[in-house]
């Protein structure tokens, strides 16, 4: 009589978040391996790169919300990962205007130093949202270094996602994003994110992970 092996700690972790592996036998399916790979990348992003609001997506966020060929991740990095060249020029222009306003205000303060009225100062903040790119949610595709990727295969991944990952919803404690309609609304990509992009996470045999930014199509090259 065959005895079924007890679930591993990883299987119990995934089951506790509402997801059940396709196979509980010794032989895991491709889907199960992809999920294990995704959890490894998620752990790396959360504990080594300080990402927040991480979610594992098993279904497409766009209609008809079909199950994807492999799970994806989404999350919020601590800082912006990619800045469009035109957006960078805009931030430089805004920062230059802020410096000019500060210099003009300092001159007025010197002129009005004999009076009791002190005009408000412009705070010098390196993280000013008007002059500093703010982080945005990003897609992450967990892969293994032994996988062979082609443009056609990568295109199938971009076909089932939207430009910006959906909001994780009111609760950010869970891991699974199984039912897209129950999540927050899909955000508008904005003028600087017309081309879809994702972070390609490549896991090596020694568990090191390297990340690459991949765009769905041609983007404007950065100029020096």
CATH 3.20.20.140, domain 9-81+134-215, yes or no? no
Please state whether the peptide bond connecting residue 35 to the residue before it is cis, i.e. omega within 30 degrees of 0. no
Domain locations in the chain? 9-81+134-215, 84-132
Distances (CA, A) of 183 to 62, 93, 171, 177: 12, 36, 9, 8
Contact status, residue 161 vs residue 198, Cβ threshold 8 Å: yes
Q: Sheet containing 176-177: which strands, arranged edge to edge? A: 176-177, 52-59, 67-76, 138-144, 197-203, 209-215
Residues 6+ positions from 110 with CB-CB distance below 8 Å: none
Check residue 173 and give its pLDDT: 43
Residues 6+ positions from 15 with CB-CB distance below 8 Å: 7, 21
Each residue of 1-56: pLDDT tens digit?
Answer: 555 566 654 455 555 554 444 444 445 688 889 999 999 999 999 999 999 999 99
Each residue of 107-132: pLDDT tens digit?
Answer: 776 666 555 555 555 555 555 555 56
Whether residue 97 is predicted with pLDDT greater than 90 in this model: the reply is no
- The rounded distance, in Å, linking the Cα atoms of 219 and 114 is 55
């Amino acid at each position: 009589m065959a005895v079924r092996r007890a679930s591993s700690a990883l299987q119990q972790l995934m089951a506790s978040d509402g997801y059940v592996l396709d196979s509980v036998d010794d032989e895991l399916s491709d889907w199960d391996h992809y999920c294990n790979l995704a959890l490894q990348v998620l752990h790396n992003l959360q504990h080594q790169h300080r990402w927040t609001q991480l979610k594992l997506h098993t279904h497409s966020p766009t209609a008809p919300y079909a199950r994807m060929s492999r799970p994806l991740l989404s999350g919020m990095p601590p800082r912006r990962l990619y800045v469009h060249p035109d957006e960078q020029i805009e931030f430089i222009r805004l920062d230059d205007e802020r410096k000019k306003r500060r210099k003009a205000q300092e001159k007025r303060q010197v002129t009005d130093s004999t009076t009791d009225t002190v005009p408000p100062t412009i705070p010098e903040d390196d993280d000013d949202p008007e002059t500093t790119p703010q982080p945005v949610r990003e897609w992450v595709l967990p892969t293994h270094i032994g996988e062979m990727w082609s443009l056609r295969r990568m295109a199938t991944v971009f076909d089932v996602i939207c430009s910006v990952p959906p909001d994780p919803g009111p609760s950010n404690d869970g891991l699974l994003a199984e039912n897209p309609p129950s999540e927050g609304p899909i955000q508008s990509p904005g003028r600087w994110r017309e081309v879809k992009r994702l972070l390609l996470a490549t896991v090596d045999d020694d568990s090191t992970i390297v990340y690459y930014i991949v765009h769905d199509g041609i983007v404007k090259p950065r100029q020096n």
